[in-house]
Each structure stands twice: as C-alpha cells, then as structure tokens.
C-alpha cells in the first residue's frame, strides 16, 4: 500500500498528515488557512490522493510557517509513500485551463528536489492569503518529495485562478507520475537502477 503518515512538530507548527496515493480524492483538510484548505482539497481531488491534514500554526504572526511546513510534510509523505518508486511512470505533465489562466505543471520524481517557478501572480493577497506563499509551499514540497517540478503560466489575470490552476495542474501531473507503468511493472524507471 502506498501510504504515509507524518507528524511534524516545531515551535511554529504542529502538523499531522496522512496520504494515500491510490485513493479517491477524499480527506479532511484543516490547515488554519482557509485559502490553503481550498487549494489542498482541489489538489487531493484532482490527484485522486486521499489526504488528511491538520495544522496548528502560529497564524497570529502570519501564514508563512504553516504554508511552508505543510509543503514540507506533504513532500515527506510523497517520498515515503513512493518507496523505491519501482514500477511508476515517473514523469507527468499537465497543461490546465482555469478560465483565463493557463498553467503548465511538469514533474519528474527524480529524487532531486528542484522547483522552477514561473507564476506571475498580480496581487499580493487572495483574501487574507499572501500569494508569495504559493512558491514557499511548492519549494518545501519539491525539496522534501525529491522531485523536479516546473510551474509555468501561459496566461492569467486573476490571482485566484492562477493559483488554483497551479495546484490542480500539479496534482494532475503527479497523478500521472505516481501511476503504475504497465510495461515497466517491476522496474525502477532509471538507468541508474535507483531514484
């Protein structure tokens, strides 16, 4: 079973997270940040990942620590759930329209954490959420999942649509990448023999 449960407690956040890569897009998300709850619910549904997240963070300061640390823990959960990555497709790409926004996400579960961030979000906030935290979230995720993720914006004017498109596109790309390869069933998808 490709599942993981992670707990992470610091002076800034207390997070519990469970992930099932072979789920149905179900779960309960309670990060203490309404907009991030919305994005992670979309991520779970579009990736078909069962995801449960609870975070108690120092949001009285701001949302930075919670957003970054949830990205870290979600990345750790992906890494653990994937194990040695035997039999997976490894790569995934999605170009996703969200009204006027068009977002590309392309992922390689390479074992190397790298984020190429190409979103140009026009406002500093969506509601009370600082839009610069989108990059922090995905940076924490990629470094800890050990994956390369390219996010590219081809069009978009509405900040909410751009961010939502990025979360949905990333989820769909990851869904492809973690799926089983019918041809390479028992193989590790690398000439190195390890990822």
What is the per-residue pLDDT across 80-133, written as a single tens digit (0 to 9) for each? 999 999 999 999 999 999 999 999 999 999 999 999 999 999 999 999 999 999
8-28 pLDDT, tens digit per residue, is 999 999 999 999 999 999 999
Residue 39, SS3 per DSSP: helix
pLDDT at 89: 98
Does residue 12 lie within any of the structural domains?
A: yes
Does residue 99 lie within any of the structural domains?
A: yes
Give the chain's domain count.
Answer: 1
| Torsion angles phi and psi, residue 160, rounded to 5 | -60, -45
Is the per-residue pLDDT at 66 higher than 90? yes
Does residue 190 lie within any of the structural domains?
A: no
pLDDT at 102: 99
pLDDT at 1: 86
Domain that holds residue 121: 3-178
Is the per-residue pLDDT at 185 higher than 90? no
Residue range 135-146: mean pLDDT, rounded: 98
H or E stretch at 61: none
Does residue 34 lie within any of the structural domains?
A: yes
pLDDT at 53: 98
Q: What's the predicted TM-score (pTM) here? A: 0.97
pLDDT at 77: 98
DSSP characters over 156-192 = ---HHHHHHHHHHHHHHHHHHHHSB-SSSTTS-SSTT
The domain spanning residue 152 has which CATH number?
3.30.230.40
The distance between the two most distant Cα atoms of the chain, rounded to a whole number of Å, is 51
- State the pLDDT confidence band at 39, using cuts at 50, 70 and 90: very high
Q: At what angle do helices 34-47 and 159-178 cross, to 10 degrees?
A: 40
Does residue 156 lie within any of the structural domains?
A: yes
Computed over every residue of the chain, the mean pLDDT equals: 97
pLDDT at 120: 98
Does residue 192 lie within any of the structural domains?
A: no
Q: Which region among 29-33, 48-52, 86-90, 191-195 has the lowest average model confidence (pLDDT)?
A: 191-195
Does residue 74 lie within any of the structural domains?
A: yes
Does residue 9 lie within any of the structural domains?
A: yes
pLDDT at 24: 97
8 Å CB contact between 124 and 62: no
141-175 pLDDT, tens digit per residue, is 999 999 999 999 999 999 999 999 999 999 999 99
Q: How far apart are CA 136 and CA 6, in angstroms?
A: 19
Nearest to 119 by CA among 72, 76, 164: 164
DSSP E strand stretches across 3-156: 3-9, 13-20, 29-30, 50-57, 91-98, 101-108, 114-118, 125-126, 129-130, 148-155
């Amino acid at each position: 079973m490709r599942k993981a449960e992670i707990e992470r407690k610091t002076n800034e956040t207390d997070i519990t997270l469970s992930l099932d890569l072979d789920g149905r897009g179900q779960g309960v998300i309670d990060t203490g940040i309404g907009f991030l709850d919305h994005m992670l619910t979309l991520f779970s549904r579009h990736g078909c990942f069962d995801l449960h997240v609870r975070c108690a963070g120092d949001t009285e300061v701001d949302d930075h620590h919670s957003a970054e640390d949830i990205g870290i823990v979600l990345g750790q959960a992906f890494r653990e759930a994937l194990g040695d990555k035997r039999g997976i497709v490894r790569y995934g790409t999605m170009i996703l329209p969200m009204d006027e926004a068009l977002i590309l996400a392309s992922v390689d579960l390479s074992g190397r954490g790298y984020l190429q961030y190409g979103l140009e979000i026009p406002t500093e906030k969506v509601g009370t959420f600082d839009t610069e935290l989108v990059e922090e979230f995905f940076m924490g995720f990629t470094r800890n999942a050990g994956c390369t993720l390219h996010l590219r914006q081809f069009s978009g004017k509405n900040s909410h649509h751009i961010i939502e498109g990025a979360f949905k596109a990333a989820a769909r790309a990851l869904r492809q990448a973690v799926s089983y390869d019918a041809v390479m069933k028992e193989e590790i998808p690398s000439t190195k023999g390890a990822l």
